[in-house]
A and B are shown apart, each in its own frame.
Chain A
Amino acid sequence: MARLTINGKGHDLDVEGEMPLLWVLRDELNLTGTKFGCGAGLCGACTVSVDGEATRSCITSVESVEGTDIRTIETLASADTLNAVQQAWVEHQVPQCGYCQPGFIMAASALLEQTPEPSDEDINAALTNICRCGTYDRIRKAVRRAAELKKGGGQS
């Protein structure tokens, strides 16, 4: 049994302690916005926020995140308002297939929380995810735009 707090809500789960958080989210809780890409922490498609840190959930065991505040892509927006990063992603029309984008958006959101005015180096270091559609050009522009939006006092 494990007790996790996900998107502000407590869940008691009948799962093994070593089960990766990714599969609890996807298969036990049907929070499918967090994606499976590699299972080895290499691609970042499964990125979630654990106590504000971008974390690759496919290599993060359930037992290691008990008692933390886990946030997924599903919690970023309200019904009619996207967060600043999502808004910037729409403005720059970033997604193609879109499969990797929740991971990128989670990583970018965590980056901007910690580093509101990131340099190119900060962005490169924080966003080591893989996008097979090659949307990198627009991702970089969208991260900069999201920083502006946040600074301008728009939605968080």
Chain B
Amino acid sequence: MSETRSLTRRIFLIGGASIAGVAIAGMGIGTGYLASLDLKGLGAQKSDGGSVDLTAWINVAPDNNITIYVPFLEMGQGTYTGMAQLVAEELGIDVEAANITVTHPTEELSAYANWTMFLNRRPEEEAGPVTWFSQRAVAAMRMVATGGSTAIVGNWTPLRQAGATAREMLKAAAAQKLGVPPGELVQKHTAFSNPDGTKSATFGELAELALEQTPPLEIALRKPAEFKVIGKSLPRLDVEEKVRGAAQYGIDVRLPNMIYAALQQAPVFGAKIKSIAEGGVRERHGIIDIVNLETAVAVVADNTWRAKQAVEALDITYEWPDEFADSAKVKADLKRRIEAEDYTRSDSRRDIPLHFEQAAKTVEAFYETPYLAHATMEPMNTTAWWKEDDTVEVWSPTQSQTATRWAAAAVGPASEVKVHVTYAGGGFGRRAETDFAIYATKVALAMKGRPVQVVWSREEDMRHDDYRPGAIAKMSAGLNASGKLQVLKAEIGSPSVFASYLPRVLGMPAPADQDEATLEGVLKSPYKPKAWQVSAVDVDTGIPVGFWRSVGHSNNGFFMECFADECAASAGVDPAAFRLANLPPASPEAAVLKLLMEKAQWAGPRGNGKGRGLAVHSSFRSTVGAVLDVSVDEDKTVTLERAVLVCDCGTVINPSLVEAQMQGGFIFGLTAAAFGEITVEQGKVTQGNFDEYEMLKLGSAPAVEVHLVPSANLPGGVGEPGTPPAAPALANAIFAATGERVRTLPISTSGYSIAEA
């Protein structure tokens, strides 16, 4: 199987097919209809309250208040600010000014469809009929969604075009209204004037007239040397409301006459509710109703606490599934299939056994990672209001606005569903799911006429997640006498994320064979010598798995970068030197590594009981290298002393936001490597709260210093790429300090604990 073909399979997504499959799906919709879809969103129209939409992203009100629509969930990554900066660069406005508001749009326009994520193509690459059909198929479904570190990647050009289009229309209107040639107009924030400032008009005053202007077809966008907003560390636009406690998350939605519900979900995956013994619970103070949701019971009350107390007091019996999921069994099955070479798919180049025979040295290692929960700080919740006329409104902190609308509409005979996207207290992939919206909408239907907020307890959240799959890897390599990789073999076992997610959330079939998430970061590894084999095995598990910050990279970065360290040690070469010798000299990984060695003083002194660990990994169109310094006591207590990160994410929109994402992504990965493990026994998740699923804290987290590689390349993603290097940097640092290889995560499995400073 050719690598090119296997790589395009990543793109499948819709119908579990390839991008061509998406295109075929598009053809089924009809060329005429597809051609009519507005993918660019550069048109203008009248909107509510006398305001005017100048493109799909910019609304101008008569009072000169400007709204920028960001169809991506603000879940901490700073998308409100980054996207607004792209618009502002060309629109020429000061986004921090009081008359600028950024918000999530409720309307799902085809221009908002995230085909970059679904097709793994960015607008700058768009070309050809297959792409034409597949983009429009995604747009026809709207598919407003946040994930895959794609907001900036997919909108780098479109949002600047939108800003420029709106500016040109306003400018043409100003020229007409003020009787000044366009070339002489002076723009100051949201107003145009003549050169001496005696005549001026605000955007608000010009908006109606702007509608009558013909938007220019081609506008030359500013060149990097001319950027005024892009590349600046503007303060986050949501920072003040967040420090005031005024930002409204999903859990903060308050509506007139609203009631609250708590859930008790069937504790075993695949179990259903058999019976509910109410035992007087219904008579308790504030209890409004008890609703059987088939896989959960909801108690509706006049506040969340009463609902929770009541649902926990119910005596519920369950109908158990035929088989009980077990995470240890999943690992054993994966291991057995790898040993039997019972691959779901396998790609290779050249004669692998021959190259191993000819190698001067061979290295082999077996790695293992656990299932992980997302544990967003804001537990899963949604507020739904099923009105008497069967129109439905949903308020949800969701990464999947469109999928949420579909899911809510499928709950009952809804005539119309509107999804309001709120701020989210973390997402990390968990909010790409729709389970929390479905439960809330079901309760709302039962409580028709009253808005209901359903908030999950922390335990419900942790025990009913869609987990990052645990994975195992058998890594083998052959080196020549000078420590150059001659052959690399990676056999990776992991439950398939897409096979779990697609049927569950989008009602689409699972991919035909192993999805690429299992192999991302391995198939395209820059270390690959001419002879290589990448194989995958999969098993059915009964444990739902989903997207988790950096998805397969979170496993594969650990496998690849720990193994690179093992190969270096086997060759008797410094870990950084080994990587530089085996990475293509012109690769971004090599460039990042060189800068990292300098910034982290790689060659500097380490001291007794101290270790310096290294990892470099590319994901989501960016490359991140990390050096972590640790000290390890005799009782295996690890102090995380200092981390230095170097990130090449192409053109940087906002350095402060990128730094924050790098720090956050790295701490997220370190937390998982230090503590994170979800185990499933007898179909139940063992862990329930933060005492059993621990987190790094202020006193245990290292300082994280971030350096950005100056670049004029197209921007890459930043939300996820900081995570994959964390676990291998930690394991490699522990090896450097102790001589012991930690091949199983979390490190606590090997007896290591984290020091609280």
Contacts and interface: CB of A to CB of B under 8 A. Distances in A.
B235 A90 contact: yes
A93 B239 CA distance: 7
B377 A130 contact: yes
Give the most central of B243, B244, B304, B689: most A CB within 10 Å: B243
A137 B243 contact: no
Contact of A90 (B243, B306, B428): B243
Given A38-B690, A74-B245, A120-B757, A19 B305 contact: yes
B239 A90 contact: yes
A95 interface: yes
Contact of B378 (A73, A93, A99): A99
B208 to A, nearest CB: 33
Given A27-B304, A98-B423, A124-B699, A42 B691 contact: yes
A123 B377 contact: no
B249 A82 contact: no
A102 B260 CA distance: 23
Contacts of B696: 134, 136
Nearest to B258: A27
Interface in B639-666: 656, 660-661, 663-666
A15 to B, nearest CB: 8
A52 interface: no
Contacts of B428: 132
29 contacts: A23-B304, A27-B260, A27-B305, A32-B254, A33-B244, A35-B249, A35-B251, A35-B378, A37-B379, A72-B245, A73-B245, A89-B243, A93-B660, A95-B239, A96-B660, A97-B378, A97-B427, A123-B698, A124-B697, A130-B695, A132-B377, A132-B428, A134-B665, A135-B664, A136-B667, A136-B696, A136-B698, A137-B704, A140-B703
Nearest to A121: B757
Interface in A76-97: 76-77, 82, 86, 89-90, 93-97
A97 B696 CA distance: 17
Nearest to A19: B305
Given A20-B305, A82-B244, A134-B666, A32 B76 contact: no
A139 B75 CA distance: 18
A69 to B, nearest CB: 18
Contacts of B756: 124
Given A137-B704, A138-B660, A38 B698 contact: no
Contact of B458 (A39, A77, A99): A39
A136 B698 CA distance: 5
Nearest to A87: B243
Contacts of A42: 689-691
B692 to A, nearest CB: 10
B242 A95 contact: yes
Interface in B75-121: 75-78
Interface string B246-269: 111101101000001000000000
Contacts of B76: 95-98, 133
B305 A23 contact: yes
B126 interface: no
A128 interface: yes
Interface string A23-45: 10011101011111111101101
A27 B305 CA distance: 9
A137 B637 CA distance: 22
Contacts of A74: 244-246
A54 interface: no
Nearest to A32: B252
B235 A39 contact: no
A4 interface: no
B238 A98 contact: yes
A40 B247 contact: no
Contacts of B248: 32
B475 interface: no
A112 interface: no
Given A27-B303, A37-B377, A130-B690, A16 B426 contact: no
Give the most central of A99, A101, A128: most B CB within 10 Å: A99
Contacts of A133: 76, 377, 426, 660, 664, 668
Dominant secondary structure of chain B at its interface with chain A:
loop
Interface residues of A, number: 60
Contacts of A136: 667, 696-698, 701
Contacts of A121: 757
Interface residues of B, number: 66
A141 B357 CA distance: 55
B477 interface: no
B243 A82 contact: yes
A127 interface: yes
Nearest to A85: B243
Contacts of A147: none
B242 A101 contact: yes
A34 B378 CA distance: 12
A20 B305 CA distance: 8
A100 interface: yes
Contacts of A90: 235, 239-240, 243
B668 A86 contact: no
A102 B377 CA distance: 12
A105 B240 CA distance: 13
A133 B668 CA distance: 7
Nearest to B664: A134
Closest 9 CB pairs of A and B: A33-B245, A134-B667, A99-B425, A97-B76, A98-B242, A124-B699, A73-B245, A96-B76, A27-B303
Nearest to B688: A40
Contacts of B695: 130, 132
Given A97-B75, A134-B671, 5 more contacts: A28-B303, A76-B244, A101-B243, A124-B698, A124-B756
Interface string B663-699: 1111110010000000000000000011100011111
B600 to A, nearest CB: 16
Contacts of B656: 93
Contacts of A28: 303
B232 interface: no
A97 B423 contact: yes
A131 interface: yes
A96 B664 contact: yes
Nearest to B453: A27
A49 interface: no
Nearest to B233: A93
A50 B285 CA distance: 27
Nearest to A15: B303
Give the most central of A33, A97, A139: most B CB within 10 Å: A97
B666 A131 contact: no
A95 B245 CA distance: 11
A49 to B, nearest CB: 13
